[in-house]
A and B are shown apart, each in its own frame.
Chain A
Amino acid sequence: MFNFVKKWLVNLKISTRTALSFFAIIFTALITSASAILLLQYAKQIDFKLSNNFEPAITATKDIEYIMSETGRYTYDWVYNPSKDKKLKLQKILDKQYRKRKIFLIELLQQPELEQSRKRLVKVGGDFEKIIVKEKNIMSLLKTDADYNNPLKFSSAHKIYKEIEIDLKKLDTDIEEVELMVIAASRKLSQKKYASYSTLSSLLVIMLIGLVVVSVISLMITNSTVIKPVSELSEVLDAVGRGQIVNYQMNLARRDEIGVIQKSTLTLIKGLKAKADIANAIGKGNYDIELKLQGKNDKLGKALIEMRDNLKSSMLKEIESKKSLEKYTLSLEKKNKELDQFAYITSHDLKSPLRGINNLSEWIEEDMGELMTEDSKGYFKLMRGRIHRLESLINSLLKYSRSGKLGGEKEWVDSRSMVLDLLKLINPSIHHTIYFDDALPKIWAVRKDIEDVFYELLSNSVKYANPKRPIINITYQHIDEKHKFCIADNGLGIASEYHNKIFTIFQTLEARDKFESVGAGLAIAKKIVDENNGNIWVESEPNKGARFYFTWLDSDTN
């Protein structure tokens, strides 16, 4: 019921509702005032009646009662104590005064409430008429002094008077009854008057209560239909102002001004929400999302569209450049592989003719025997030396081209025991002093790869350490999720301009004839470390030894 009323109310405009509540108050006041006036009027009428009819009727009844008893007294005087004045008076009463009074009284008793009294009065009047006849009889009997002396006449007059006396007594009671009836009727009417007064006072109380109730209800309605939604709206708008997109829902569909504001707010929030969703989608990379502009002046929408388009074009560009980069990387990888393959095949194919040359030279030397001069023998020796160097170059090239490329399963490799094994294999002289860190870790790697790296670095250090008192020091650190190894020697050291060059294949710092070295070991180590996303470098100065460092990732993340 309340909801139905509320629903009906919120479909009205606020002005209508204000007018309605105003009219309700006025109407209540008006109705109560009108009823009060009517009641007052009613009471006034009763008052009027009482003062104009009832009270005079009572007086008049008393008068008539008096007049009637007067006639009794005057008749007595007429009979027993006659005087001219009194006779005249009686005649006057009977002829004029009584009738006048009676007509006056009957007129007063014309009111419907007094009908009973009037009927009674008429009856009493009738009875009195008989008494009047009797009194007039007495008057006609005793007209002159002579008549008084006439005992017959006197006695009959006396007799009539006695009758009159009895009649009057009876009549007196009757007329008193009439009077009482009138008084009773008048009381009844007075009671009505007082009843109407009390009704009036309770009506005023009701009016007051009604006014209060109507005001309270209208206030409540205003509160629930205007103030509450308005404060709700302002909260929502504040939240929106703070950048929060709230879920706003209307409790009621309403057609008043508040409803209009609610609708506008809803549109605003919906619009903002839609835009926020679109912005989110764009942020997440959905650049194909459709966006409808909400009019010519939808600046936010236009900005979003521009943002989306810019992002899309830059994304496309990025994809394109990524693709070309991938393509380039792929072709580079392919070229690298081809190069490795080329190096492998070439070096492999070079070996057999080389061996052929070697064999043939040996056979010639063998077959010629003593026929050869010492010079020729020397040349042959030199030639074979060169052949051997070519073979080791080819072997190094082969090893280099294959190193780090074999793939294979990664495993946990104990670098400490591996270094010990490698040192046995390299077999340094008994003069070499080799220190190594006991904390050399287990590392996650392809065993062959890490072995090659250590082998090349260790043999390099063994080879180049100070020949008088060779010292090699192997240390280890753990830095930034990486293993960092250092292999240091106390050899001649390397000038800084060669620090990069020594990692290039076939680069040696000494003449090959002086120091037989191919110059591939460091290049192989670098290749493997690079393939495993590590770094390799040297720190050295001439005559201060060399410290070769390399890093290896700590986990299997690579």
Chain B
Amino acid sequence: MKEKIIKILLVEDDEVDVMNVKRAFKKNNVTNPLFVCGNGIEALDFLNIEYNTNPHDYPRIILLDLNMPRMGGIEFLRELRNNEHLKNISVFVMTTSNEDNDKIDAYNLNVAGYILKPLSMDQFMSVVSTLNNYWKLCEFPV
């Protein structure tokens, strides 16, 4: 149980950002399986399939970008919180948007954190490291 590795879903449309996250995971020795979806719709489809195939082992953590094509982050969050099975997923917003409105909307939809993407790689490394430590501390239901 304790050794169980939680799946993480990254919802991000920017290829470089995806690579950035992957690089940071690798550097920080984050071993959690990372799945990537390009927008909200893709992510919802993916999560539904995951839940249906294995209701005990679907991604429990989502790293979410806000500005995305087709379905943005806030819209995705709204859909997610309305979904009976998926509403308990922890969501960390990782975005460039420093808009107050976005922050308010995100926290109203029960995000676990709102993180501004730092420009430099070093800073981002420390962000991912912190998050990793946090996840390791947290217990998730089966």
A194 CB–B CB distance under 8 Å:
no
Segment of B84-92, B113-121, B127-135 in the binding face: B113-121
B81 CB–A CB distance under 8 Å:
no
A506 to chain B, nearest CB (A): 20
Residues of B with C-beta under 8 A to A366: 121
B23 CB–A CB distance under 8 Å:
yes
Residues of B with C-beta under 8 A to A348: 67, 96-97
Task: Pick the 3 closest A-B CB pairs, nearest first.
Answer: A356-B16, A362-B121, A351-B96
Query: How far apart are the CA atoms of A348 and B98 in the complex, in Å?
Result: 9
Query: How far apart are the CA atoms of A388 and B14 in the complex, in Å?
Result: 20
Residues of A with C-beta under 8 A to B67: 348, 352
Interchain CB contact (< 8 A) of A356 among B14, B98, B100:
B14
Q: Digitize B81-110: 1 where CB-to-A-CB distance is under 8 Å, 0 elsewhere.
A: 000000000000000111010000000000
Interchain CB contact (< 8 A) of A398 among B16, B19, B98, B119:
B98
Q: List 11 additional A-B contacts (Cβ < 8 Å) besides A356-B16, A362-B120, A362-B121.
A: A348-B96, A351-B96, A352-B17, A352-B96, A355-B96, A355-B117, A356-B17, A358-B119, A360-B16, A363-B19, A391-B119
Instruction: Flag if B119 contacts A355 (CB, 8 Å).
Output: yes
B20 CB–A CB distance under 8 Å:
yes
Instruction: Flag if A352 contacts B14 (CB, 8 Å).
Output: yes
A387 CB–B CB distance under 8 Å:
yes
Query: How far apart are the CA atoms of A348 and B82 in the complex, in Å?
Result: 29
Which partner residue on chain A sits nearest B97 by CB separation? Answer: A348
Query: How far apart are the CA atoms of A363 and B21 in the complex, in Å?
Result: 12
Query: How far apart are the CA atoms of A352 and B117 in the complex, in Å?
Result: 9
Residues of B with C-beta under 8 A to A388: 119
Query: How far apart are the CA atoms of A366 and B124 in the complex, in Å?
Result: 15
Which partner residue on chain B sits nearest A398 by CB separation? Answer: B98
B:5-36 near A, CB below 8 Å:
14, 16-17, 19-20, 23
Residues of A with C-beta under 8 A to B98: 398
Residues of B with C-beta under 8 A to A363: 19, 23, 121
A201 CB–B CB distance under 8 Å:
no
Q: Digitize A330-374: 1 where CB-to-B-CB distance is under 8 Å, 0 elsewhere.
A: 000000000000000000100110111011101100100000000
Which partner residue on chain A sits nearest B101 by CB separation? Answer: A406
Instruction: Flag if B23 contacts A355 (CB, 8 Å).
Output: no
A to B CB contacts below 8 Å, 18 in the list: A351-B96, A352-B17, A352-B67, A354-B119, A355-B17, A355-B119, A356-B14, A356-B16, A356-B17, A358-B120, A358-B121, A359-B16, A359-B19, A359-B121, A363-B19, A363-B121, A366-B121, A387-B119
Query: How far apart are the CA atoms of A388 and B98 in the complex, in Å?
Result: 17
Residues of A with C-beta under 8 A to B19: 359, 363
A405 to chain B, nearest CB (A): 12
A:356-402 near B, CB below 8 Å:
356, 358-360, 362-363, 366, 384, 387-388, 391, 398
Query: How far apart are the CA atoms of A360 and B23 in the complex, in Å?
Result: 11
B4 to chain A, nearest CB (A): 32
Which partner residue on chain A sits nearest B16 by CB separation? Answer: A356
Which partner residue on chain B sits nearest A358 by CB separation? Answer: B119
Residues of A with C-beta under 8 A to B97: 348
Query: How far apart are the CA atoms of A352 and B69 in the complex, in Å?
Result: 14
B101 to chain A, nearest CB (A): 9
Query: How far apart are the CA atoms of A384 and B123 in the complex, in Å?
Result: 14
A343 to chain B, nearest CB (A): 14
Query: How far apart are the CA atoms of A553 and B97 in the complex, in Å?
Result: 33
Residues of B with C-beta under 8 A to A359: 16-17, 19-20, 121
B39 to chain A, nearest CB (A): 15
Q: Digitize A16-48: 1 where CB-to-B-CB distance is under 8 Å, 0 elsewhere.
A: 000000000000000000000000000000000
Residues of B with C-beta under 8 A to A351: 96
Query: How far apart are the CA atoms of A406 and B97 in the complex, in Å?
Result: 16
User: Which residue among A363, A384, A391 has the maximum number of chain B CB atoms within 10 Å of its CB?
Assistant: A363
Residues of B with C-beta under 8 A to A362: 120-121
A399 to chain B, nearest CB (A): 9
Query: How far apart are the CA atoms of A74 and B96 in the complex, in Å?
Result: 188
Query: How far apart are the CA atoms of A465 and B100 in the complex, in Å?
Result: 33
A407 to chain B, nearest CB (A): 11
A:100-144 near B, CB below 8 Å:
none
Residues of A with C-beta under 8 A to B14: 352, 356
A97 to chain B, nearest CB (A): 167
Query: How far apart are the CA atoms of A352 and B18 in the complex, in Å?
Result: 12
B110 to chain A, nearest CB (A): 25
Residues of A with C-beta under 8 A to B16: 355-356, 359-360
Query: How far apart are the CA atoms of A356 and B83 in the complex, in Å?
Result: 34
